[in-house]
Amino acid sequence: MKNILIIFSLLALNLNSQSDSSKIKRAPTDTSKMLLNMDAVYNRPFLQYGKIPVALGGYMEANTNYAVTDGITEGLSFQMRRMTLFVSSSIHRKIKFLSEIEFEDGTKEINIEFAALDFQLHHLVNFRGGIIMNPIGGFNQNHDGPRWEFIDRPISATQLLPATFSNVGFGFYGKTYQPKYVWAYELYLTNGWNDRIIGNSQNKTYLPATKLDPERFEESFNGVPMTNAKTSLRFKGIGEIGLSYMGGVYNKFQDDGLTFDKKRRADVFAVDFNTSLRTKTNITAEFAWTFIDVPDTYTQQYGKKQHGGFIDIVQPLIKRPMFGFEKASFNIAMRAEYVDWNVGTFNETGGNIADDIFSIVPAISFRTSSQTVIRLNYRYQWQKDLLGNPASRTAAIQFGISSYF
């Protein structure tokens, strides 16, 4: 971790000391091809200096937050959500390296989200190794703040699926371009879950709790790799659909040769979809289902099945030069999202187990370009406890900025 920070600062110094800005180039983002969510990691604005084979980039997000839950508010606060730095380099025509480091909530959390080497053997066979962003759903792969009109990440992508979930591992991916469509696959084996999934302060089955294990980049929790596969298809004029699967054993079934329990799995399936209509309306949607083998003798507090998703609709209203920005646009947007952390019925009564959340987020945004966004969100949210008692209601008003740099 430290080393990488040093490399970053050296590169930055290097840029400053020789600040000959004519040599700093913006590596163009690829707009020619039909792109998939999986391309998002490389399709970012990078800065390149002269002929050095290293490109730098990143993005930041900051916002104000004013939320009221059942009449109680903590007042107004300003949040530095995150700053993310990317470094990419072409080691060889067929070997690329990309890393992404994220600083969340100031420096409370520092994560390497991505740090992988890609070897191109054939366009259908690329080998990838390192810290890999697990391709589950679309958001996990394509999560950069400036791309979204919403300040909060979707609840289903942060509290059902682990957001920016990445793990050490290896695997293959490939793509084929046809005149009418592009098809891609990804297949990785990585380190996986741990038992915090069913032992966490959220009091619910919570896949993101896996991220709390500080040792997960060093060693697998139980020695069984997680399998992650995704296939995506984009049809010209129709849109992209992705089907993904991620699953593995989450418990420590044995230690030091002693067996404690059977192997218990947590499996996730997701569908993601995005399209652009003729009216320039962008629609992005994702839905995920999780299946967790929670022991029957544990508590129903921790669900065996969960599901949830979101749909975002973004409508550009004005797209023309504004306030001196050539490619400015003004947009309205709406997100609807839902998560049920415990799908099932109580053994005792046969009644529904609730533990769910529903929210709607109308938004307006002003983009100076596709890379920088100023956005205003309003959120209204209903959350029910396990027993399905009257929902606690939250409203939030948020104003924020996000930009690549």
Partner 1 sequence: MLFLMKRLFIYFTFLTILVISCKKLTPKLPEDHQILEGPIKGLTAAEQDQFLKGDIGFGAVFTPQNGLGPIFVANSCASCHAGDGKGHPFTTLTRFGQTDSTGNQFVQLGGPQLQNRAIPGYSPEIIPSGATSSKILPPANTGLGYLDAVSDQDLLLMSDPNDADADGISGVPNWVNVPAYCQFRANAISMNGKHMARFGKKGAAYDLIQQTANAYNQDMGINSTYESIDTYRKQPVEPEVSNTTLQNVVFYLKTLKAPVQRNANDADVIAGKQIFMSTGCDKCHRAELKTGSSPIKVLSNITFHPYTDLLLHDMGPALDDNYTEGSAKTSEWKTPALWGLGLSKKSQGGSYFLMHDGRAHSIDEAIQLHGGEALQIRLAYGNLSMTERDQLLKFLESL
- Residue 71 interacts with partner 1 (CB under 8 A): yes or no: yes
User: What is the Cβ-side half-sphere exposure of residue 299, based on CA atoms within 13 angstroms?
Assistant: 8
**Smallest distance from partner 1 to CB 360, Å:** 12
**Smallest distance from partner 1 to CB 69, Å:** 7
Q: Contact at 8 Å (CB) between 359 and 28? A: no
- Find, among 38, 24, 163, 13, the residue nearest to 102 by Cα: 163
**Smallest distance from partner 1 to CB 3, Å:** 31
The separation between CA 275 and the C-alpha centre of its own chain, rounded to angstroms, equals 18
178: tokens are 């046809």
- Residue 72 interacts with partner 1 (CB under 8 A): yes or no: yes
- Residue 79 interacts with partner 1 (CB under 8 A): yes or no: no
Task: Lay out the site mask for partner 1 across 339-378 (x = CB under 8 A, - = otherwise).
Answer: -------xxxx-x--x---------x-----------x-x
State the Cα–Cα distance between residues 30 and 38, nearest whole angstrom.
13
State the Cα–Cα distance between residues 310 and 45, nearest whole angstrom.
27
Which is closer to partner 1, CB of 213 or CB of 267? 213
- Size, binding site for partner 1 by CB under 8 A: 50
- Residue 68 interacts with partner 1 (CB under 8 A): yes or no: yes
State the Cα–Cα distance between residues 398 and 320, nearest whole angstrom.
26
Q: Which of 50, 53, 106, 199 binds partner 1 (CB under 8 A)?
A: 199
Other Cβ atoms within 10 Å of 132 Cβ, number: 25
Helices in 28-180 by DSSP H: which ranges? 155
DSSP 156: I
**Smallest distance from partner 1 to CB 393, Å:** 4
- Residue 261 interacts with partner 1 (CB under 8 A): yes or no: yes
Other Cβ atoms within 10 Å of 278 Cβ, number: 6
Residue matched to tokens 């896949």: 207
- Find, among 203, 198, 163, the residue nearest to 383 by Cα: 203
* Region from 45-53, 176-184, 233-241, 388-396 binding partner 1, contact rule CB under 8 A: 388-396
- Residue 327 interacts with partner 1 (CB under 8 A): yes or no: no
Task: Lay out the site mask for partner 1 across 217-256 (x = CB under 8 A, - = otherwise).
Answer: ----------------------------------x-----
Rg of the chain in Å (alpha carbons): 22
- Residue 395 interacts with partner 1 (CB under 8 A): yes or no: yes
Q: Which of 39, 195, 337, 355 binds partner 1 (CB under 8 A)?
A: 195
Chain contacts with partner 1 (rule: CB under 8 A): 66, 68-73, 195-196, 198-203, 251, 260-261, 264, 295, 297-301, 317-318, 320, 322, 330, 346-349, 351, 354, 364, 376, 378, 380, 385-390, 393-395, 397
